[in-house]
Amino acid sequence: MTDPAQNLETYLVGGAVRDQIMGFEVKDRDWVVVGATAKKMLKLGFKQVGKNFPVFLHPSTGEEYALARAERKTAKGYHGFEFDSHCQITLQQDLQRRDLTINAMAMDRQGNLIDPFGGQRDIKEKIIRHVSDAFKEDPVRVLRVARFAARYAGKGYRVAADTQAMMVDMVDNGEVDALVAERVWQEMHASLQEKHCAVFFRELRNCGALEKILPEIDALFGVPQTEKYHPEIDTGIHILMSLDAADRLTDNPINLFAVLVHDLGKALTPVSELPSHRGHEKRGLKPIKQLCERLNVPSQYRSFALKVCEFHLHCHRIGQLKATTVMRLLEKFDGFRKPELIDGFALCCLADKQGRSGHEQENHDQMNLLLEYHRAALAVDGGKVANQVRQQANAGNNTDAKITGAKIKAAIRKQRIAAIAKVIANGKLQTALRPRLS
Ligand code: CTP
């Protein structure tokens, strides 16, 4: 079968060209078609994607082919291609309406680069720069700049001053207010998976968008903490440092989201109590719920973040907790059905600990102890305990399955607490045996 794209003037565009020039693996390939109409595309067997966009899927590769367009915003009430003017639009016009110079390059079928707006130059100079005034057409681009800054921060990229000024304008003019929750979460979620996700929030703060989009996080900046524990003092800085630490430990966005919001309660501390934040773990629950509701954050992110917020101080004090308290903590996280949540919790707490000036290399002691307790409790053989309880029930002629079930549950719990207590006792013994250091 011949390739229907051969009958068209097509160019590879967007991320695929950018990634190729930067030397990264190319994921999705998007194409622009110049000089064609929707009718022609459909005739060649391409499948129409949406009603309002001139975008089609290739019948065999499934790759996206968009008719060149000069207008990237689709006006309300615009119905498809009935007055199709896309065939008049040149490649250059299409590229000019794109967000960033690094995203506004094209490549023809022979591999020749078309780069009218200096994308290659900006890659060389490591600059994230808008293409034209058309940048303002779409407030999602404010989020995209912050996300690309997070992606390339490790390579030394920075946002161009005039692009940043344009972002500030878009915030001041209220254009950012038009962002819908779904797109904010989408970009934020993608950014949490970038190598330096703290940069996403830093860039949004630099242009003033953080206050509009994530006011609960913005409110942490300027809130002091006790210098002895937090030499960085500012709570917002602590959160960004904690995200940096978390990025070194994991790329799981559920954990990173929990780190991001774990101290939201600190913005609600009464001024008279500053710089102390007694009770911030409970106080933080409301703003987390508020943020999650507004952005439709998926429930697994929300529920884990709420638990990390409520119990993160337990992890820091883990060595002082009684076995029953440790057990309750493990149960709160559903740590016997979902052990990975305890790993995540331990990791978030370590990121919190390492997210402080001068403490970036802080040891893993509390995290390890929590994981050791968890391992010991998990090692209890539930099947064996259940058999013992059943045998006792049979011997006593007790055939009520409900009562036996409850007894099994209680016996397993008891043994798990005993297993944790044994680790605590061993730890004490080891501490007692350890030679004193003067
Ligand atoms: N684009 C744009 N403005 C937007 C979104 C996209 O100008 N708000 C253009 C850019 O040229 C971009 C291309 O559409 O490169 C494809 O967008 P998309 O697939 O969303 O992102 P990529 O740039 O490919 O980046 P990623 O690697 O994150 O997928």
Please tell me the distance between residue 170's alpha carbon and the centre of ligand 1 in angstroms: 19
Question: Do residues 86 and 37 lie in contact, with contact meaning Cβ atoms separated by under 8 Å?
Answer: yes
Spatial separation of the C-alpha atoms in residues 56 and 64, rounded to whole Å: 6
Measured from the CA of 147, which atom of ligand 1 is nearest?
28
Spatial separation of the C-alpha atoms in residues 259 and 271, rounded to whole Å: 24
Residue with the nearest Cα to atom 21 of ligand 1? 15
Query: What's the angle, vertex CA 23, arms to CA 61 and CA 249, rounded to 5?
Result: 100
Q: Peptide bond preceding 275: is omega within 30 degrees of 0, i.e. cis? A: yes
Instruction: Kindly calculate the radius of gyration of the chain based on its CA atoms and give it in whole angstroms.
Output: 28
Spatial separation of the C-alpha atoms in residues 412 and 379, rounded to whole Å: 11
What is the sign of the dihedral through the CA atoms of 171, 172, 174 and 177?
A: positive
Which residue type is seen at 60?
Answer: S
Spatial separation of the C-alpha atoms in residues 225 and 227, rounded to whole Å: 6
Spatial separation of the C-alpha atoms in residues 28 and 15, rounded to whole Å: 8
Which residue of 25, 103, 133 sits with most ligand 1 atoms within 8 Å of its CB, as the best mutation to test the pocket? Answer: 103
pLDDT of residue 401: 76
CA distances from 74 to 80, 137, 263 (A): 10, 10, 40
Measured from the CA of 95, which atom of ligand 1 is nearest?
11
Spatial separation of the C-alpha atoms in residues 410 and 403, rounded to whole Å: 11
Alpha helical stretches, state H, 46-197: 91-96, 119-125, 140-152, 161-172, 181-192
Measured from the CA of 14, which atom of ligand 1 is nearest?
15
Residue with the nearest Cα to atom 12 of ligand 1? 14
Residue with the nearest Cα to atom 26 of ligand 1? 15
pLDDT of residue 82: 39
Alpha helical stretches, state H, 3-77: 15-22, 38-43
Return the number of other C-beta atoms located less than 10 Å from residue 412's C-beta: 20
CATH fit for domain 1-119, picks 3.30.460.10, 3.30.70.2190, 3.30.9.10, 3.40.470.10: 3.30.460.10
- Helix, strand, coil tally for the chain in percent (to 5): 60, 5, 35
Strand partners, 9: 34
The helix (H) or strand (E) run that includes residue 32 is strand 30-34
128, burial (CB in 10 Å: exposed 0-12, middle 13-18, buried 19+):
buried
Residue with the nearest Cα to atom 22 of ligand 1? 15
CA distances from 175 to 140, 178, 244, 341, 358 (A): 10, 6, 30, 39, 39
Tell me the pLDDT of the chain (438 aa) as tens digits: 689 999 899 999 999 999 999 999 998 999 999 999 989 999 999 999 877 778 999 999 999 999 998 876 544 333 444 334 567 899 999 999 999 999 999 999 999 999 999 999 999 999 999 999 999 989 999 999 999 999 999 999 999 999 999 999 999 999 999 999 999 999 999 999 999 999 999 999 999 999 999 999 999 999 998 898 889 899 999 999 999 999 999 999 999 999 999 999 998 889 998 998 888 999 999 999 999 999 999 999 999 999 999 999 988 889 889 999 999 999 999 999 999 999 999 999 999 999 988 888 888 888 889 999 999 999 999 899 888 888 888 887 776 777 888 899 999 999 999 999 999 998 765 655 544 433
pLDDT of residue 315: 84
pLDDT of residue 183: 96
Please tell me the distance between residue 242's alpha carbon and the centre of ligand 1 in angstroms: 29
The owner of tokens 């949540």 is 341
**Residues with a CB atom less than 6 Å from ligand 1:** 14-15, 30, 98-99, 103-104, 138, 140-141, 144
pLDDT of residue 199: 98
Question: Do residues 193 and 251 lie in contact, with contact meaning Cβ atoms separated by under 8 Å?
Answer: yes
Question: Do residues 104 and 96 lie in contact, with contact meaning Cβ atoms separated by under 8 Å?
Answer: yes
Return the number of other C-beta atoms located less than 10 Å from residue 143's C-beta: 25
Residue spans of the domains in the chain: they are 1-119, 251-358, 380-433
Global confidence as pTM = 0.91
pLDDT of residue 80: 41
As given in the structure block, the two tokens for residue 351 are 């990121």
Please tell me the distance between residue 103's alpha carbon and the centre of ligand 1 in angstroms: 7
Residue with the nearest Cα to atom 13 of ligand 1? 14
What length does the chain have? 438
Which residue of 99, 141, 184 sits with most ligand 1 atoms within 8 Å of its CB, as the best mutation to test the pocket? Answer: 99
Please tell me the distance between residue 274's alpha carbon and the centre of ligand 1 in angstroms: 44
Measured from the CA of 131, which atom of ligand 1 is nearest?
7
Spatial separation of the C-alpha atoms in residues 292 and 191, rounded to whole Å: 17
DSSP 265-304: GGGGS-GGGTT--TTHHHHTHHHHHHHHHHHT--HHHHHH
